Structure 1
Amino acid sequence: MKQKNALLAISILISLFAGLIVSGCKKQQFREDTTTDVNIVGYLEKNIDSFSLFKQILDRTDNSAFLNAYGSYTCFAPTNGGIKAWLAATNTASVDAADINVLKELVKFHLLSDTVSTAAFKDGRLPVPTMQSQFLITGVSFKDGSSSYTVNRQAAVLRSNIKVGNGIIHEIDHVLVPSSKTIAQQLEANPNFSIFVEAMKATGYYTLLNTVDPDTAKRWMTVIAESNQALADSGFASFAALKTKYSNTGDPANTADSLHIYMAYHILRDIKFLGDIINASTHQTLQPQEVISTQLINQDVVVNEDIFDGILEKGVLLTRNISDNAATNGVWHQAAAHYMTKFRKPAAVFWDLCSFPEIMKLPAYYKKQNYNFVRQNELDKPIKDIDWEFKSASTTLTYFYSTSSSLGIYQYNNDCLVLPLGAPSRATWFEFTTPVIIKGRYKVWICYNARNAVVCNVRVNGDLMQRPVNLGEFRPAGSDAELESIGWKRYIESTGSNSGYYVSRLVGTIDIKTTERHKLRLETISGTNASNYLDMIHFIPVDQNQLVPRFRPDGTKVY
């Protein structure tokens, strides 16, 4: 009986204690927001004298509630003066009188689904598209001795990087107007490109360039257009003259016809503003196995300026102030002169493994600090062009950056990739998509920081290279010629005390059969649970110097 009474007392005490906990929980107040800062709409309301019209547009398009909620956005907010100028230019009496669909598209064109500060404002497109799906381009203008950021060549940034609870605001002085025409329509509307447009129609490419694919992965194109003047300077005063020169089959729609090849050679897949074009040395065109080479020379973007057999072939300038023309399906640039496809000799590709878009669009980390790319599951792919075996200890690929650590002090750009390799719990393979490589025969060099002994086979497009690479093996002693004879080289310029860790190992020779991007795969043979540090991979034609250029941490090539 005493035992029953004791159990009953304990039960009552537990019930009372639970009741107190529940009562206490009911009285506790929780905040659902994560900051006490105002959100985007709150900021506009606090500065209503400057932004009453933009706030009115948000209200009318039912976007105010959306932009007053939790999230992570960038808003380019036009002032009242900018909106009044837009209303006047479009002969619209007021915000209430404007076409509601136009206003909806306008709002989406002023918003990004990410926080982008002016640290990402470069001479070219922003790293993420607007909610309207087109990209914004930024630059710098100089007026009356002062400089300011510009957006889409339509507006100046008056005040930037205004942090609010759900993102960043940039105040601008004019409304940003999205493109309403395709590449084909824009060029056709410009009489200076009438010959080029006739060639587009004759070859069938007008239809392609006049299409807005609903799938944004397939939508974007880039065109390098030649004006009537550029063609006339090369002896083509009319489309008839151009056809007579190039249409060797008489049918420009025939893919084997030289006029068809000419047009295909002026079109690139994907959207590439000038800032994107100079980020790679070659770009694949729609003409199979043919690329254009590009480089930045004294702030000029130049196409196809190359040295063949020791002779410099002058390239063609892309006219900056008439390029970067955004369209609903891509962008087009103007070439200052006429050019045609030509045979391309194999060219060296010095591939920086850290120059992939997913890290480059993070200006707070790229060339500044470490960043981890984490795979949430086997299907997750945080980096488009890098894949690896998903295991418990290989969920993270690290972008490593340091100007002082022995791991990064001599690396190209002071950064490298940290790969979790080795059995049993780390990845046994990594696969990379290369930059465009021109067809030819190449020697392949793996450049790494020697730390942990994981031995890997290397495959290019599935073909096994002749020699595995031990990512923990140091460079042996010897002269450049002696080292090259046994498959080693020094790829960095420095000869400092830690430079011996930085190794370039020849893994073999490969025939690249088509001019395009290829697959390179590392497969572990031995080694357990290690972190390995990869910097660059070199594809160098077999008949070219394999030892130079060497590289400095700032990217300078040393011959």
Structure 2
Amino acid sequence: MKNKLSYLVAVSLLLSFAVVQSCQKMEIKIETTGDVNIVGYLEKYPDSFSLFKQVLDRTETSAFLNAYGAYTFFAPTNSAVKTWLTQSGFSSVEAANIETLKSIVQFHLIMDTLTTTSFKDGKLPVPTLYGQYLITGVSNKGGSSSFIVNRQALVIKSNVRVGNGFIHEIDHVLQPSTTTLAKQLEAKPEFSIFVQAIKETGLYERLNTVDADTSKRWMTLLAESNRVLADSGIHSYADLKAKYSNTGNPTNPADSLHIYVAYHILTGVKFLGDIISTSAHQTLQPQEVVSTQLINSEVILNEDMFNGVLEKGVTLIRDVSDNAASNGVWHDAGGHFTAKYRPPTAVYWDVSTFTEIMKMPANYRKANFDFRRQTEADQPLKDIYWGWGPLAGTNTFTYYYNSTNSVGRYAVNNDVNQLPLGLPNRPIWWEMVTPPIVKGKYKIWMCYSRSKQSSSSNQLCQVTVNGELMPRTFNFTELRPKGSDTELEAIGWKQYTETRAYSADSNYAGKLVGTYEFKTTQRQLIRIIPISGTQNNNYLDMIHIIPVDDNQLLPKFATDGSKKYN
């Protein structure tokens, strides 16, 4: 209990010492482990760390960092501190500005134990006590490689275990960002056109503000250089305004130039590692997102397939991105881009055209292939997930191909996705990431190849779209009813394959599960959840996502994937 209390007191004082230094000191009994702690390590090697030990003493931090706790400390060498003092105009640690020293200490300390296994190419998972994140990478010079922190300091000795955490020795003092996104970019002449656009739209003030409310403070800016703009025929701000300002007033949120700039600002602080962690990010332009993916180690924006056409994206230039500011981070975009306005467009999604199977020419549209989860942590597919089933044998997703039997003969491209579903022993949901869908209101059709493992098999399911439950169910074991196209649509059914005799293709059924309004243009999430019955042989062929005002019945699809309009 004493250790826990001492730790909490130490943490509280560490976070607030910059504010309360002038207050009366408290006498605190600190319990430590039997190992040398951070301060003890610095004292043990005075030839390397006596100067930063002076910094800790002057800021009255030494007692805290000699206490029980779990910290990561980046320790600048004496040489590093001397260089920093000279560059900062201070003759000694005693002569240095006390508030600056406090900031320096906070910026070198993280309230967690992080080894170099956390030193990915991007920000560390936990912010410093200063409130800003550190970024790490690898520097290759003279045939040797070293970890580099904030592009400011090399790690010369790492993972030093002490009683209250880890120490990483560094060759330069780390310096936190003290300028805003707006000021940082304004100081770079190579971004002058983009900066002028920020000013003319009235968004400069927002990018120049460090909001006291941290939930509102952080922003991410995707900046375009003059070179990038010139590549698109834009050589001045006047050119940019002429191209985009449709109202003549860029401060108007409805003006296309205002939209262009707002679309380059993401909400929240997102380093490159954060950007690739999800497929889309909200921008300051309402209901508009930037899509992202990692392709061959490159971070790519807005590279999407729409209606079978690949729209090439824009690369964020990795080695000059991840620039931390006092209110966020900015990245250097390698190409010109803006929000794209599209009308709601039907997506006829063949769910068997996922990346992993398409990279297997021996199987894709030729033979079955199983994707297995050996453990609950396994994730063999990028965009298809399923809930872990208690029986290991049911945790297999099958790409199913057959051009002769009743399951695959009339399916689109003769392939379907098979997944076991249902309690008590099979996965209890199946989730898929859709292709990009333009924002708007759509009807959702589940198109499947009907199968019954036995005469009593039943697989009734419900569907959620982005977590919202659709009002109608569908059943993998149910035949498509008889009737004309009009009669079927009236009761929420359709024939999605090309017209054949009923007896030949009644197993191929399209079932309407509901209407959903997509608020943003991006990839979406659809989940299938069994509510009664259980079987292995559930075969999904397509999902049709069709604007509510469009024809819901045409086109129909041939086995070769071609569209039929009669």
User: Normalization by structure 2: what TM-score?
Assistant: 0.63
Q: Give 1:460-539 correspondences, 5 Å limit.
A: 460=465, 463-467=469-473, 485=508, 508-515=513-520
Structure 2 residue 120 is the aligned partner of structure 1 residue 122:
yes
What is the match of residue 33 of structure 2?
Answer: 35
How many angstroms apart in 1 are the aligned matches of 2:42 and 2:51?
10
1:340 pairs with 338, 342, 348, which one? 338
How many angstroms apart in 2 are the aligned matches of 1:123 and 1:261?
31
Structure 1 contact 443–510 (Cα < 8 Å) conserved: no
Structure 1 contact 283–436 (Cα < 8 Å) conserved: no
How many angstroms apart in 1 are the aligned matches of 2:103 and 2:136?
20
How many angstroms apart in 1 are the aligned matches of 2:247 and 2:73?
53
Structure 2 residue 322 is the aligned partner of structure 1 residue 324:
yes
Cα distance, 1:298 vs. partner? 2.2
1:70 pairs with 50, 68, 71, which one? 68
What is the match of residue 287 of structure 1?
Answer: 285
Cα distance, 1:289 vs. partner? 2.0
Q: 1:513 to 1:281 in 2, by over 3 A?
A: closer
Letter in 2 for 1:515: T
Q: 1:140 to 1:35 in 2, by over 3 A?
A: same
Structure 2 residue 211 is the aligned partner of structure 1 residue 213:
yes
Partner secondary structure for residue 172 of structure 2? coil
Cα distance, 1:309 vs. partner? 3.0
Q: 1:510 to 1:54 in 2, by over 3 A?
A: farther
Cα distance, 1:162 vs. partner? 1.7
How many angstroms apart in 1 are the aligned matches of 2:74 and 2:350?
39
How many angstroms apart in 1 are the aligned matches of 2:350 and 2:207?
31
Letter in 1 for 2:278: A
Cα-to-partner distance string for 1:219-263 (whole Å, 9 max, x where unaligned):
111111111121122222111111111111111011111101101
Structure 1 contact 303–318 (Cα < 8 Å) conserved: yes
How many angstroms apart in 1 are the aligned matches of 2:50 and 2:193?
47
Structure 1 contact 179–326 (Cα < 8 Å) conserved: yes
What is the match of residue 270 of structure 1?
Answer: 268
Letter in 2 for 1:466: R
What is the match of residue 489 of structure 2?
Answer: none
Letter in 2 for 1:327: A
What is the match of residue 164 of structure 1?
Answer: 162
Structure 2 residue 444 is the aligned partner of structure 1 residue 439:
no
How many angstroms apart in 1 are the aligned matches of 2:178 and 2:325?
7
Amino-acid identity (%): 56
Structure 2 contact 73–166 (Cα < 8 Å) conserved: yes
How many angstroms apart in 2 are the aligned matches of 1:483 and 1:147?
64
Cα-to-partner distance string for 1:525-549 (whole Å, 9 max, x where unaligned):
799xxxxxxxxxx99846999xxxx
How many angstroms apart in 1 are the aligned matches of 2:544 and 2:145?
43
Letter in 2 for 1:141: S
Letter in 1 for 2:113: T
Q: Give 1:118-517 correspondences, 5 Å limit.
A: 118-343=116-341, 439-440=439-440, 441=442, 460=465, 463-467=469-473, 485=508, 508-515=513-520
How many angstroms apart in 1 are the aligned matches of 2:112 and 2:241?
47
Q: 1:140 to 1:183 in 2, by over 3 A?
A: same
Letter in 1 for 2:132: Q
How many angstroms apart in 2 are the aligned matches of 1:349 and 1:134?
44
Q: 1:484 to 1:83 in 2, by over 3 A?
A: farther
Structure 1 contact 221–329 (Cα < 8 Å) conserved: yes
Q: 1:541 to 1:127 in 2, by over 3 A?
A: farther
Structure 1 contact 455–525 (Cα < 8 Å) conserved: yes
Cα distance, 1:68 vs. partner? 1.0
Letter in 1 for 2:472: Q
Partner secondary structure for residue 65 of structure 1? helix
Cα distance, 1:210 vs. partner? 0.6
Cα distance, 1:512 vs. partner? 3.1
Cα distance, 1:58 vs. partner? 0.7
Cα-to-partner distance string for 1:60-95 (whole Å, 9 max, x where unaligned):
111111111111111111111111121122222111
Q: 1:210 to 1:56 in 2, by over 3 A?
A: same
What is the match of residue 20 of structure 2?
Answer: none
Cα distance, 1:464 vs. partner? 3.7
Letter in 1 for 2:328: G
Aligned alpha-carbon RMSD (Å): 4.6
How many angstroms apart in 2 are the aligned matches of 1:235 and 1:149?
40
Cα distance, 1:122 vs. partner? 1.0
Structure 1 contact 282–436 (Cα < 8 Å) conserved: no
How many angstroms apart in 1 are the aligned matches of 2:446 and 2:125?
31
How many angstroms apart in 2 are the aligned matches of 1:340 and 1:305?
13
Q: 1:32 to 1:202 in 2, by over 3 A?
A: closer
Structure 2 residue 102 is the aligned partner of structure 1 residue 104:
yes
How many angstroms apart in 2 are the aligned matches of 1:96 and 1:245?
57
User: Normalization by structure 1: what TM-score?
Assistant: 0.64
Q: 1:439 to 1:112 in 2, by over 3 A?
A: same
Structure 1 contact 114–128 (Cα < 8 Å) conserved: yes
Partner secondary structure for residue 62 of structure 2? coil
Structure 2 contact 306–436 (Cα < 8 Å) conserved: no
How many angstroms apart in 1 are the aligned matches of 2:333 and 2:305?
20
What is the match of residue 366 of structure 2?
Answer: none
Unaligned runs of 5+ in 1: 1-30, 351-366, 372-398, 412-420, 423-433, 446-452, 474-480, 488-505, 528-537, 546-559
Q: 1:514 to 1:86 in 2, by over 3 A?
A: same
What is the match of residue 54 of structure 2?
Answer: 56
Cα distance, 1:522 vs. partner? 10
Partner secondary structure for residue 97 of structure 1? coil
How many angstroms apart in 2 are the aligned matches of 1:340 and 1:127?
30
What is the match of residue 385 of structure 1?
Answer: none
Unaligned runs of 5+ in 2: 1-28, 352-372, 378-386, 399-422, 425-433, 448-457, 478-496, 498-504, 534-541, 547-554, 558-566
